Amino acid sequence: MAHGHSHHAGGMLTLDALAAHSGLRGVSPALKTFFSVACLLLCVGAADAVVGAAVACSMIWIIWRLSGVPLARLLRLLRVPMLFLVLSCLVILIEWLGAPAGLFCVPLGAHWLCVTEASLHQTATLFFQAFGAVCCLFFLSTSTPMPQLIEVLRRCHLPELMIELMYLIYRYLFVLLETQRQMTVAATARLGYVGWRRSVSTAGRISGGLLASSFRRSSACFDAMEARGYEGKISFLSHTPPLHLRHALAAGAYLALLSLLILIRKGGIAL
Amino acid sequence: MTEPILQLEHISYTYPDGPLAVEDLSVSIAKGERVAVLGRNGAGKSTFFLLCNGILEPSAGTVRCCGKPVTRNKKDLIELHRRVGIVFQEAENQILAVTVEGEVSFGPMNLGLPLGEVERRTAHALDRMGLSEYGQRSPQYLSGGEKKRVTIADILAMEPDVILLDEPTASLDPENVVLLEKTLDQLTAAGIALLVSTHDVDFAARFARRGLVFSRGRLIADGALDSLFSRRELLEEAGLRKPWIWQAAETLRPGEGTYPMTMEQFARWKEARD
């Protein structure tokens, strides 16, 4: 396998590569996790379009400027959740009424498809609420490499077995994907993907082959683990970046501003 | 004569569902020695390695580590795992952790060393393999040659006396093979005995003076490489060929007993005959 990451094209792997090179990878992962979860809770809890939009925009700016993800790439990544969001919001936006009402109506048989002021408001709120939340999670996944995230979970006292499994799954995901890629290339070279029926049967065979090769690999892996003195407990040295005061202050300032915005929007503070 | 570090005495091993994998194997490895392990696929080389490290339990015979017989008790086995390390052919099967540093620390962690010592050994092993900058990298973003160096650092961190390398050149490009040969020289300089299994007889000739030849689960020859390559019936039985330089020299002057195997030897051999 050569140097490039070019063949790691899938969405999840893109996120992994972005996190590995993120400008924020030196920030304490615990802080980033706390920060993104706090923002997410505030954004969802506020249930307000302006707050949601503010969170989304600021998160996109953070991911773009601080984490160093090219904007075009980020927007491409956001397409999938966006599509999902837009489709679900359409269902809420359009009401199925007996008589015309609201801002905009289209007759359909004996009934009317209408957009009312209430449904528009509800949709906008929901859309930005969800979009802000998605951006919070994107912030975490583009700035924090998975190993660091697992270490955070370890410190949250998740059972040791789950931590070990997470490490192994994360590691072998890449090995399996590479094997799968090679098998797919080999099958394509032998015209395994010509026609729909054959594609389905080839994909099935590749899955079977993957299972078989995983079994073979597992015994070889176990030998290699034993050769290095494995006795039932998997433990590694891990370095997670420490918490810096200025990072904590920045996160605190952001959360304070966000809370202030929520208070203003909820009418707690009259301007 | 230095005290042998690792000795196998009349070792036999049968896989649970298969024929005899290794039969009546006796071999002795001295400190800092370099040995090439040759033979066809399935001739017993990998089984031999797993027996040396104690992963497989011989059905007959004794393994000695620094003269002491190794029993199946846990303490002895851990000691054997520590002293005799294996660098597996497939780096993907060996690399377990999600960062290079974590990966190299796996062995020392298993030895139950204090954390400070684990850190020291990990940093030292990474440094020796030129991987100091790679500590926080993920293995999925390394090249083949880098992965191979990580797997060697894995073993170095356990501070072994013997390292067994299973076909280390198999997946490397020529540039990385040169790098690997330099690495192996460093390990020898550090007093570590090296056993390298390979199909590449030219590499074997550059690497070692001594060779072990396996065929059908038996060790059929153990001696100086140049004496092995002059035995035609042995090469046929083990499916080996002579190094290219040997063949070239033999074409130039047929009828001599042994021939040079490396470029340096060839230059000297040629000079002596001109």
Residue A268: domain span: 1-157+242-271
Same domain for A138 and A150? yes
Taking the alpha carbons of A197, A198, A199, A205 in that order, is the dihedral positive or negative? Answer: positive
Q: Does A9 have pLDDT greater than 50? A: no
* Residue-range domain boundaries for chain B: 6-241, 242-274
Same domain for A189 and A262? no
Give which of A36, A63, A18 is closest to A251, Cα–Cα. A36
Same domain for A181 and A131? no
B13: Cβ contacts below 8 Å, ≥ 6 apart: B20, B21, B22, B47, B51, B56, B57, B58, B59
- Round to whole Å and give the CA distance between B12 and B233: 25
CB atoms within 10 A of CB B94: 27
B12: Cβ contacts below 8 Å, ≥ 6 apart: B20, B22, B23, B24, B25, B58, B59, B60, B61
- Round to whole Å and give the CA distance between A205 and A183: 10
Same domain for A148 and A24? yes
Instruction: Give B197's strand partners.
Output: B37, B166
Q: Does A8 have pLDDT greater than 60? A: no
Q: Within an 8 Å CB–CB cutoff, is residue B177 touching chain A?
A: no
Q: Within an 8 Å CB–CB cutoff, is residue A216 touching chain B?
A: no
- Round to whole Å and give the CA distance between A108 and B261: 89
Same domain for A143 and A96? yes
Same domain for A187 and A72? no
Interface contact A228-B110, CB threshold 8 A: yes
Instruction: Kindly state the average pLDDT of the residues A46-72.
Output: 93
Instruction: State which amino acid sits at residue B214.
Output: F
Residues 109-128 of B with CB under 8 A from A: 109-111, 115, 118-119, 122
Interface predicted TM-score (ipTM) of this complex, two decimals = 0.84
Same domain for A135 and A27? yes
The Cα-based distances of B50 to A172, A238, B147, B164, B217 in angstroms read 23, 29, 21, 9, 13
* Segments in chain B below pLDDT 50: none
The Cα-based distances of B207 to A57, A132, B113, B262 in angstroms read 61, 61, 34, 10
Give the pLDDT of residue A178: 86
Give the pLDDT of residue A99: 80
Average pLDDT for chain A: 88
Beta strands in chain A (DSSP E): 95-97, 104-108, 111-115
- Round to whole Å and give the CA distance between A152 and B274: 71
**Taking CB atoms and an 8 Å cutoff, what residues of chain A touch B93?**
217, 220-221, 224
- Round to whole Å and give the CA distance between A149 and A41: 19
Give the pLDDT of residue A95: 84
Q: Which of A15, A21, A237 to mutate to test the interface with B (most CBs of B within 10 A)?
A: A237
Distance from A79 to chain B by nearest Cα, in Å? Answer: 26
Q: Which of B73, B106, B133 to mutate to test the interface with A (most CBs of A within 10 A)?
A: B106
Q: Within an 8 Å CB–CB cutoff, is residue B95 touching chain A?
A: yes
Instruction: Kindly state the average pLDDT of the residues A173-182.
Output: 88
Q: Within an 8 Å CB–CB cutoff, is residue B158 touching chain A?
A: yes
Q: Identify which of A168, A223, A237 has the shortest CB distance to residue B109.
A: A237
Pick the residue from chain B with its C-alpha nearest to A238: B102
For B121-153, how does the pLDDT look when each residue is reduced to its tens digit (9 = 90+)?
999 999 999 999 998 888 888 999 999 999 999
B82: Cβ contacts below 8 Å, ≥ 6 apart: A229, B107, B111, B158, B159, B160
For A209-246, how does the pLDDT look when each residue is reduced to its tens digit (9 = 90+)?
899 988 888 888 999 999 998 988 888 888 888 999 99
Share of chain A above pLDDT 90, in %: 47
The Cα-based distances of B81 to A47, B90, B161 in angstroms read 59, 19, 10
- Round to whole Å and give the CA distance between A166 and A156: 14
For A178-201, how does the pLDDT look when each residue is reduced to its tens digit (9 = 90+)?
888 888 899 888 888 888 898 899
Distance from B208 to chain A by nearest Cα, in Å? Answer: 24
Backbone Cα Rg of chain A: 24
| Burial (CB count <10 Å: 0-12, 13-18, 19+), residue A197 | exposed
CA atoms within 13 A on the CB side of B130: 10
How far is residue A230 CA from its own chain's centroid? 34
Contact B100, B134 (CB under 8 A): yes
Provide the pLDDT confidence category of residue A3 given band limits of 50, 70 and 90.
Answer: very low
- Round to whole Å and give the CA distance between A145 and B98: 10
Same domain for A65 and A192? no
Q: Within an 8 Å CB–CB cutoff, is residue A168 touching chain B?
A: yes
Give the pLDDT of residue A258: 94
| Cα-based angle B90, B96, B102 (whole degrees, multiple of 5) | 125
A11: Cβ contacts below 8 Å, ≥ 6 apart: A77, A80
| Pairing label, strands B84-87, B162-166 | parallel
Quote the DSSP letter at residue B132.
Answer: G
Q: Within an 8 Å CB–CB cutoff, is residue B83 touching chain A?
A: no
Strand, coil or helix: what is B86? Answer: strand
The domain made up of B6-241 has a fold known as Rossmann fold (3.40.50)
